[in-house]
């Protein structure tokens, strides 16, 4: 559908919002500081972005609080909030090419993934929560006849959201859409690597009719802007997506400030368990390759541990390695490219460090392992496969967040489950088998938030997503996400 678009020309024409969006206006940071927004495609500085700090966060929280107190959003009828959020979804669709381009330039994902994957999902998410909010009813408790007890769901007030760079707008939408639908005001801090799409969407939200101050975006670094939001005394809840390490800091920030509610969507080390009786080994191999190489492996539920039954190991690994060729890194602005760049130099160095560690600890490098396309000035790593990995090795334990697959063999279903659960993470597991009983038994035994069976597809906005163990708590997506952005009030009336 986008065959006619010359993305390089579009990229040369695009303009960037480079200021914070507070109280319905773009403003410079209070200190006048900026940071370089570097494109990982070629190392070019795209823009100098306002570097928000504690003072900017405070300004945004004040704007959010005063909009909440004034009731300009929270007190609108659910049906009215619905109309505005559906309009925002339409504007996101209308500007999908521009938003996709901003994300590709910002973090290097292939343009068609951004356009047809991310932006569709963002629009769907915003529309879904808009459509939902006038269909949710409150409760009346089963009391004696002499009383009437109403259980009503109320917005929290000011919600802070801190998000990562791998799906910049989608991870933000999973927070701001349900938070806004429920009537809260929002202060969003995008990742410093990828602030562009969030700044543009804040402007579109205003255009759709979200009142000034209800949706604010403050770009900046984690240690300054992120921490200030986490520690702010007037923020009621903090929704975080990012690494487990930083997620733990938000619990500390909450404990040391106002005990704000914290929701954490953190890291993962997804086991992809492939049995010899998988319905179709070709499909399973495609799932394994997509599962680790999509988005350069920078995916929280990337299928980074291939746990394969020993009797199909050789044939299956050969299939995955053959499919990996289609993921050779290419220009993210070329529609044919399936794998773009890493997000930045730091992440590239980190991933290469894990590859060296894998070799040093005795895993067998079966494919790739090198940085490529250095002549572009950008940051690219080949699809990489390790064989003969043991679950105790660093590459099987740590979240690499790059296109690096660790292959581990098993003999029995019990061993597969043991290997899968032997991780501090519990975000997702994938399972391939034709045996329905075995599939259900194993799905129950896996300590993860999502199990996919005979597919990598874990469902759309209608199902919850989130982790067990150190992958976090609370759920994004589905009606369950509204639990994070509302609280229950009991009103007990004596009528005796
Ligand atoms: P990160 O934890 O480094 O950063 C995430 C956000 O936290 C950024 O906005 C960053 O500025 C901020 N931050 C960093 N240090 C901070 C600090 N000291 N105080 C306050 N805020 C701080 O993560 P990342 O590298 O941007 O993203 C990759 C991580 O995100 C991976 O671990 C991945 O698994 C995780 N992730 C999880 C999900 C999920 O739904 N579970 C989805 C996507 C990504």
Considering only CA atoms, which of 388, 382, 427 is closest in space to residue 308? 388
| pLDDT per residue as tens digits for the range 305-347 | 999 999 999 999 999 999 999 999 999 999 999 999 999 999 9
Task: State the pLDDT at residue 165.
Answer: 98
How far apart CA 226 and CA 163 sit, in angstroms, is 9
| pLDDT per residue as tens digits for the range 400-418 | 999 999 999 999 999 999 9
Query: What is the b/e burial string over 25-51, where b = at least 16 CB atoms within 10 angstroms of the residue's CB?
Result: eebebbeebbbebbbbbbeeebbebbb
Instruction: Please say if 265 is a catalytic residue.
Output: yes
Is residue 188 lining ligand 1, measured as CB closer than 6 Å? Answer: no
The number of C-alpha atoms within 13 Å of 231 and in the hemisphere containing its C-beta is: 14
Closest protein CA for atom 40 of ligand 1: 265
Instruction: Please say if 300 is a catalytic residue.
Output: yes
Closest protein CA for atom 15 of ligand 1: 222
Closest protein CA for atom 9 of ligand 1: 191
| pLDDT per residue as tens digits for the range 273-282 | 999 999 999 9
Average pLDDT of 176-202?
A: 98
Ligand 1 centroid, distance to 330 Cα (angstroms): 26
Q: Residue with structure tokens 């659910």? A: 78
412-to-273, 415, 454, 480 alpha-carbon distances in Å = 11, 5, 18, 36
Is-above-0.85 flag for pTM?
A: yes
Ligand 1 centroid, distance to 322 Cα (angstroms): 32
Sign of CA dihedral 48, 93, 210, 193: negative
Task: State the pLDDT at residue 398.
Answer: 98
Q: Residue with structure tokens 């299939």? A: 319
How far apart CA 413 and CA 152 sit, in angstroms, is 46
pLDDT at 12 over 60: yes
**In sequence order, what DSSP letters do the residues of 208-222 get, joined into one string?**
HTPPTTSEEE----I
Is residue 266 lining ligand 1, measured as CB closer than 6 Å? Answer: yes
Q: Residue with structure tokens 């989608």? A: 170
Is residue 378 lining ligand 1, measured as CB closer than 6 Å? Answer: no
Paired tokens of 87? 């309009």
Is residue 344 lining ligand 1, measured as CB closer than 6 Å? Answer: no
Ligand 1 centroid, distance to 363 Cα (angstroms): 28
Is residue 249 lining ligand 1, measured as CB closer than 6 Å? Answer: yes
| pLDDT per residue as tens digits for the range 429-478 | 999 999 999 999 999 999 999 999 999 999 999 999 999 999 999 999 99
Average pLDDT of 71-80?
A: 98
Task: State the pLDDT at residue 3.
Answer: 58
Is residue 224 lining ligand 1, measured as CB closer than 6 Å? Answer: no
Is residue 464 lining ligand 1, measured as CB closer than 6 Å? Answer: no
Considering only CA atoms, which of 471, 33, 454 is closest in space to residue 243? 471
Ligand 1 centroid, distance to 266 Cα (angstroms): 7
Nearest atom in ligand 1 to 162's CA: 9
pLDDT at 1 over 90: no
- Report the side by side order of strands in the sheet with 147-155: 139-140, 147-155, 486-494
Ligand 1 centroid, distance to 268 Cα (angstroms): 12
Q: Which of 125, 192, 203, 300 is catalytic?
A: 300
| pLDDT per residue as tens digits for the range 473-489 | 999 999 999 999 999 99
| pLDDT per residue as tens digits for the range 216-247 | 999 999 999 999 999 999 999 999 999 999 99
Nearest atom in ligand 1 to 242's CA: 30
Ligand 1 centroid, distance to 220 Cα (angstroms): 13
Is residue 162 lining ligand 1, measured as CB closer than 6 Å? Answer: yes
Task: State the pLDDT at residue 4.
Answer: 82
Contact between 53 and 190 (Cβ < 8 Å): no
């Amino acid at each position: 559908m986008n065959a006619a678009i010359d993305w390089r020309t579009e990229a040369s024409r695009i303009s960037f919002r480079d200021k914070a969006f507070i109280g319905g206006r773009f403003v410079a940071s209070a200190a006048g500081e900026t940071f370089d927004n570097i494109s990982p495609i070629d190392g070019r500085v795209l823009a100098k972005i306002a570097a928000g700090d504690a003072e900017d966060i405070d300004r945004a929280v004040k704007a959010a609080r005063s909009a909440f107190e004034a009731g300009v959003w929270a007190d609108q009828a659910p049906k009215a909030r619905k109309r505005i959020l559906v309009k925002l979804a339409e504007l996101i669709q209308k500007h999908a090419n521009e938003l996709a381009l901003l994300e590709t330039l910002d973090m290097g994902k292939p343009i068609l993934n951004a356009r047809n994957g991310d932006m569709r999902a963002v629009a769907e998410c915003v529309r879904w929560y808009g459509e939902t909010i006038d269909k949710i009813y409150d409760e009346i408790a089963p009391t004696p006849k002499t009383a009437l007890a109403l259980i009503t769901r109320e917005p929290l007030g000011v919600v802070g959201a801190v998000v990562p760079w791998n799906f910049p707008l989608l991870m933000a939408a999973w927070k701001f859409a349900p938070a806004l639908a429920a009537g809260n005001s929002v202060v969003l801090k995008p990742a410093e690597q990828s602030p562009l799409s969030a700044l543009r969407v804040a402007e579109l939200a205003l255009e759709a009719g979200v009142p000034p101050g209800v949706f604010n975006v403050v770009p900046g670094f984690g240690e300054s802007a992120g921490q200030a939001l986490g520690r702010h005394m007037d923020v009621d809840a903090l929704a975080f997506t990012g690494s487990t390490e930083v997620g733990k800091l938000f619990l500390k920030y909450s404990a040391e400030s106002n005990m704000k509610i914290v929701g954490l969507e953190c890291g993962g080390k997804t086991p992809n368990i492939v049995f010899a009786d998988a319905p179709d080994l070709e499909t399973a191999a495609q799932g394994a390759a997509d599962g680790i190489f999509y988005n350069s492996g920078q995916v929280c539920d990337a299928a980074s541990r291939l746990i394969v039954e020993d009797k199909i190991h050789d044939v299956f690994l050969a299939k995955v390695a053959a499919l990996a060729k289609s993921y050779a890194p290419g220009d993210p602005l070329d529609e044919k490219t399936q794998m773009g760049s890493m997000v930045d130099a730091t992440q590239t160095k980190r991933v290469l460090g894990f590859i060296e560690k894998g070799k040093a600890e005795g895993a067998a490098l079966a494919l790739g392992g090198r940085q490529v396309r250095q002549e572009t000035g950008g940051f690219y790593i080949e699809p990489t496969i390790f064989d003969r990995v043991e679950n105790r090795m660093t590459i099987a334990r740590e979240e690499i967040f790059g296109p690096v697959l660790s292959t581990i063999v098993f003999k029995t279903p019990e061993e597969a489950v043991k290997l899968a659960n032997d991780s501090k993470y519990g975000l997702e597991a994938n399972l391939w088998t034709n045996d329905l009983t075995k599939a259900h038994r194993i799905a129950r035994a896996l300590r993860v938030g999502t199990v996919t069976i005979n597919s990598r597809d874990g469902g759309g906005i209608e199902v919850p997503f989130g982790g067990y163990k150190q992958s976090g708590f609370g759920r994004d997506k589905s009606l369950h996400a509204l639990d994070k952005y509302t609280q229950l009030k009991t009103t007990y009336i004596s009528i005796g």
